[in-house]
Amino acid sequence: MKYNRSLVSLSLLALLSQHGLAQKKQFTMAEAVNGMSSTLATKGVKNATWQPGTDVFWQIDNKDKADVWKTTDFSAGNAATPVYVAQGEYPAGEKITSIPAIKWLDNSHAFFIKDKSILEGTLAGNKFNWSRLATLLEGCENVTLDKSERIAYTIDNNLWYWDKEKGNINVSKESNKDIVCGKSVHRDEFGIDKGIFFSPKGNLLAFYRMDQRMVKDYPIIKWDTVPAMVNLIKYPMAGDVSHEVTLCVYDPATGGTVSLKTGEKHKDHYLTCVTWSPDEKYIYIGILSREQNHLLLNKYDAKTGEKVKTLFEESDKKYVHPTHPLMFVPGTEDQFVWWSERDGFQHLYLYNTEGKLLKQLTKGSWNVNEITGFDKSAGKIIFTGSKETPLEKHIYSVSLEMATIDRIDKGAGMHTAIASDDGHFVLDVYNGAGIPKTTVIRKTDGGFTSELVKSADPLADYDRPEIRNITIKAADGITPLYGKLILPTHFDSTKKYPTIVYLYNGPNVQLIHNSFPESGNLWYEYMAQHGYIVFTMDGRGSDNRGMAFEQATYRNLGTVETEDQMKGVEYLKSLPYVNTSKMGIHGWSFGGFMTTTIMLKHPDVFKCAVAGGPVMDWSMYEVMYTERYMSTPKDNPDGYKNSCLLDKTKNLKGKLMLIHGTNDNTVVWQHSIDFLKKCVDEGIQVDYFVYPGYEHNVRGKDRVHLMQKITDYFDAYLK
């Protein structure tokens, strides 16, 4: 039989080509762990900002193979021709290798911080003229530049101040290193993330002073020296003596400092929600009791430190959880917006400075998430919230006069917003199922939309699994719980697959959203590519579902959460394709606590588990967080005993690996060490791995090592 060699070759080439086009890629572990923030990142705008007092939008763009600022004026109501602004020349000695992310002082002056230098740029035409505003002292941290061009910063435990006339001034002169000025306090709880508060015009400077001398020392070992060294930190544990915080006010004109008289009777209360009045005469502080069930909003005289009055109080049988400062209504000095969960959800309330409630601005069975701006001409607050569903976040406005709410954005998913200075426009960046990332400019009255970037799908070439959104009933038989089921790629419902449950289920965290990637985590998809089912769910106690949902776990951490997660297990066992004899569970931090809890309280369910950075005994965790949810060991001995895992090691049946960072100053290493000792005492075998030098989380390239370690463990016992 004769044949045409060329025709056969072409046919074979075409077949191979078609096969190659159809072949989808597998994620590498590096891609699964860090890809969404690096090689697989979605496309958007870079260093977005609005120029103050204008509707001019700034971003960094690539023009003629060089990064420049691209500015677009949207005030005309349509996308005008962009204007490009040159980077400009920097002062001698400043090595700036890439265009910086700037912050605005006013509509013609911007700045950025590089090491000890504060560089100020003056906008002249289409170019910045840069000069060195200040050079700070060696060791400067927490650098805060006010719009008045005054600077505050810390060196070690003391606060420093700089202005053009006086230069660098040592404001606090605490010789004891355990008295700390100008830094965040209360272990960053209550929304606190700084310790420096310039007054609105920059004439005065408030700062936290934290006295930790009465708090017990806790050793964190530095392993990168020979011999190893001890770094003693202050770590107040539940029920123990806590630190004492005051708020001080420094007046550069006189050089004097006063302490606000926030109370001598109970010094271990919490100073939250620090806010200056627009006229700089007063400071408002939310004084939260050590028990965290009673809050006073107090007004203080900034010059004398005297208490002026208590505007109002809030209390709750379980806890009050303030996390936001006041927001004064722009253009007024006597009205402010207050955040509160008093009706069971996080909402906004309008008050006057006499403490009179003018109106509740938002209400309903949903949460306000962020305030992102203010439409001055319309008298509307721009905010994000979960009004449509707790699985999404959208952009809204609410009228101060009528308390009417209007949605600004379009499209399902998770929306974030940056509002222009006058609130006429927002930058809306959103993602959701099938929407990698879309970046648009929207006029807040709905009259105009301009799409800036619609990201291509960076995962289009990968072999991705089917993802099912799941709703089940909590253990109370009433409350809906949301989860995701990630099925193996090339799923065959007639087969049985090993299954991994990933969980956190603790306060202030929500895992399940309508977002991109739809799974929520590419490591889940990596595991699906390697033949696993992955299940994850937010049980009661987790975030963004209201106070009743969160407070269901009060005084008994790990109990209700476990009951809900076991409902998830019950659902998994109902699926014919779940191999119930090959199930694993994994979580980190609170999720590590939950993983270990389930392995010890329900030892016959999971064949193996990996618990990272786990709390093993809540009496060894820090005061502010623990006492909010558990009260003190003295007041709640049964709750602490029930949640403690150190006396339950003998229950373990499956394989358990613990992982901990040796320098963890959040969940201190002793949790794992004490658990290991109990296992040895009981003759219980567990596996263990540490990350030398790491604190509570393992990040960067070493996180790839971590996730490979976890994956290998599941492969060893579930495959």
Count of CB atoms situated within 10 Å of the CB of 233: 13
Q: Within a domain: residue 9?
A: no
Are residues 309 and 334 located together in one domain of the fold? Answer: no
Mean pLDDT, the chain, whole residue set: 95
Q: What pLDDT band is residue 6 in, cutting at 50, 70 and 90?
A: very low
Count of CB atoms situated within 10 Å of the CB of 474: 19
Are residues 700 and 630 located together in one domain of the fold? Answer: yes
Structural domain ending residue among the three candidates 276, 293, 324: 324
Are residues 506 and 648 located together in one domain of the fold? Answer: yes
Are residues 424 and 471 located together in one domain of the fold? Answer: no
Alpha-carbon dihedral 256, 257, 263, 264, rounded to 10 degrees:
-80
User: Which tokens sit at 410?
Assistant: 């379009």
Q: Within a domain: residue 24?
A: no
Residue 505 above 90 pLDDT? yes
DSSP string, 449-488: EEEEEE---TTTTB----EEEEEEE-TTSSSEEEEEEEPP
3-class DSSP assignment, residue 310: strand
User: Which tokens sit at 279?
Assistant: 């006229």
pLDDT tens sequence across 454-479? 999 999 999 999 999 999 999 999 99
User: Which tokens sit at 159?
Assistant: 């606060």
* Structural contact between residues 515 and 482, judged by C-beta atoms closer than 8 angstroms: no
Report the pLDDT value the prediction gives residue 77, as an integer from 0 to 100. Answer: 64
Q: Is 664 a catalytic residue?
A: yes
Question: Which listed residue (109, 530, 602, 696) is catalytic?
Answer: 696
Beta strands in 99-214 (DSSP E): 103-106, 109-114, 117-124, 127-135, 140-145, 151-155, 158-163, 167-170, 179-181, 196-198, 205-211
What CATH number is associated with residue 526? Answer: 3.40.50.1820
Residue 380 above 60 pLDDT? yes
Out of 60-64, 549-553, 578-582, which region has the weakest mean confidence (pLDDT)? Answer: 60-64
Q: Within a domain: residue 539?
A: yes
Cβ neighbours of residue 294 closer than 8 Å, sequence gap 6 or more? 288, 313, 314, 315, 320
Are residues 320 and 437 located together in one domain of the fold? Answer: no
Residue entry with tokens 């700037």: 102
Q: Residue 276 pairs with which residues in a beta bridge?
A: 283
Q: What is the mean pLDDT of residues 81-103?
A: 88
Residue 438 above 60 pLDDT? yes
Q: Within a domain: residue 18?
A: no
The percent of residues above 90 in pLDDT, for the chain, comes to 92
* Structural contact between residues 438 and 454, judged by C-beta atoms closer than 8 angstroms: yes
Q: How far apart are CA 119 and CA 92, in angstroms?
A: 12
CA atoms within 13 A on the CB side of 709: 19
Structural domain ending residue among the three candidates 425, 456, 487: 456
Q: Is 589 a catalytic residue?
A: yes
pLDDT tens sequence across 386-419? 999 999 999 999 999 999 999 999 999 999 999 9
Alpha-carbon dihedral 670, 671, 677, 680, rounded to 10 degrees:
-140
Q: How far apart are CA 398 and CA 81, in angstroms?
A: 32
Q: How far apart are CA 278 and CA 258, in angstroms?
A: 19
Are residues 319 and 391 located together in one domain of the fold? Answer: no
Q: Residue 518 pairs with which residues in a beta bridge?
A: none
Q: What pLDDT band is residue 79 in, cutting at 50, 70 and 90?
A: low
Report the pLDDT value the prediction gives residue 65, as an integer from 0 to 100. Answer: 76
Are residues 434 and 478 located together in one domain of the fold? Answer: no
DSSP 355: S
pLDDT tens sequence across 133-178? 999 999 999 999 999 999 999 999 999 999 999 999 999 999 999 9
What CATH number is associated with residue 448? Answer: 2.120.10.30
Report the pLDDT value the prediction gives residue 63, as an integer from 0 to 100. Answer: 84
Are residues 165 and 314 located together in one domain of the fold? Answer: yes
Structural domain ending residue among the three candidates 456, 481, 497: 456
Distances in whole angstroms, Cα of residue 642 to Cα of each of 168, 227, 417, 604:
54, 40, 43, 19
3-class DSSP assignment, residue 671: helix
Number of H helices, E strands in the chain: 10, 43
Q: Within a domain: residue 34?
A: no
Are residues 483 and 344 located together in one domain of the fold? Answer: no
Q: What is the mean pLDDT of residues 238-248?
A: 98
Q: Which residues of 487-497 are buried (b: 16+ CB within 10 A; e: fewer)?
A: bbbeeeeeebb
**Beta 244-251 vs 256-259: how paired, if at all?**
antiparallel
293 CB-contact burial (10 Å; exposed 0-12 / middle 13-18 / buried 19+): middle
Residue 57 above 80 pLDDT? yes
Nearest to 182 by CA among 153, 161, 211: 153
Q: Within a domain: residue 514?
A: yes
Nearest to 274 by CA among 209, 330, 371, 178: 209
Are residues 166 and 105 located together in one domain of the fold? Answer: no
Residue 11 above 60 pLDDT? no
CA atoms within 13 A on the CB side of 495: 12
Question: Which listed residue (55, 375, 428, 664) is catalytic?
Answer: 664
DSSP 651: G
Number of folded domains that form the chain: 4
Nearest to 471 by CA among 538, 533, 556, 557: 538
9 CB-contact burial (10 Å; exposed 0-12 / middle 13-18 / buried 19+): exposed
Are residues 419 and 315 located together in one domain of the fold? Answer: no
Q: Within a domain: residue 176?
A: yes
Report the pLDDT value the prediction gives residue 20, as an integer from 0 to 100. Answer: 46
Question: Which listed residue (589, 619, 643, 672) is catalytic?
Answer: 589
Q: What is the mean pLDDT of residues 652-681?
A: 98
Q: How far apart are CA 275 and CA 302, in angstroms?
A: 11
Are residues 530 and 679 located together in one domain of the fold? Answer: yes
Expressed in percent and rounded to 5, the helix, strand and coil fractions of the chain are: 15, 40, 45
| Domain that residue 60 falls in | 44-135
Residue 66 above 90 pLDDT? no
Nearest to 322 by CA among 635, 561, 628, 666: 628
- What are the phi and psi torsion angles at 93 (to 5°)? 95, -10
User: Which tokens sit at 374?
Assistant: 């203010």
Radius of gyration, CA atoms only, the chain:
28
Report the pLDDT value the prediction gives residue 82, as an integer from 0 to 100. Answer: 84
Out of 88-102, 297-311, 696-710, which region has the weakest mean confidence (pLDDT)? Answer: 88-102
Higher pLDDT, 18 or 608: 608
Q: Within a domain: residue 231?
A: yes
The percent of residues above 70 in pLDDT, for the chain, comes to 96
Report the pLDDT value the prediction gives residue 365, as an integer from 0 to 100. Answer: 98
3-class DSSP assignment, residue 437: strand
Beta strands in 444-592 (DSSP E): 449-454, 467-473, 480-486, 497-502, 533-538, 578-588
Residue entry with tokens 């909402």: 347
Q: What is the mean pLDDT of residues 82-86?
A: 87
User: Which tokens sit at 325?
Assistant: 């400062």
